[in-house]
Amino acid sequence: MLAERLKTLRKENGMSQQRLADLLGLGQSTVAMWEKGKNSPEYESLINIANIFNVSIDYLAGQKTSRLSHRIPVLGYVRAGIPTEAVEEVLDYEDVTLPESEAGNYFALRIKGDSMAPRMMEGDTIIVRKQSDCASGDICVALVGSGDATVKKVIKKDSGIILMPLNACYDPLVFTTDEIEAFPVTIIGKVTELRAKI
């Protein structure tokens, strides 16, 4: 159970095994062994892992009672198209099952536009985990400039990042490393769930 939960938490946070190992002051192979269930973290490492992911040790150990249903706000609209100003207004609430300690780290947004079609359509709701980084290939909400928000697939390159639409009718948004700093381009959260409108 610990192996499965550790791997899930790491992926939900867009973190590589190497990055987690670095934060813990350990080797990547140690984290890999934990996730395969071939070894278990020492108590001190468990405490550090719980702190990194903001969960309880009980949750890491497999306790079922650590995840509860919480209501999170749907904070306005995000463009699945050309970036537009992010407006924080509570449109509705969504019920999500999360550890108690994680409830404040999530919010929801309503989709406008069709650049992420057919996977995400106008009117759908996305559940977003607040985080400032992600893995290449994650679908994230990004701020472009002072307040323009968009939801796109993030492709990381050595030269910068690409905010990639899923709809072939839209061009990708390409930013060099310098442009990421200058605009700036900021990841504000990773999409963890899509709630489609029927």
Active-site residue set = 115, 152
Q: Give 60-63 contacts, CB < 8 A, sequence gap 24+.
A: 60/2, 60/5, 60/6, 61/1, 61/2, 62/1, 62/2, 62/5
Nearest residue to 71 via CA among 51, 95, 50, 89: 95
| Degrees, nearest 5: CA angle 17-20-21 | 85
123, 110 contact by CB (below 8 A)? yes
Q: What is the DSSP letter of 64?
A: G
Cα–Cα separations (whole angstroms), residue 107 to 58, 126, 163: 24, 9, 21
The answer to whether the beta carbons of residues 172 and 116 sit under 8 Å apart is: no
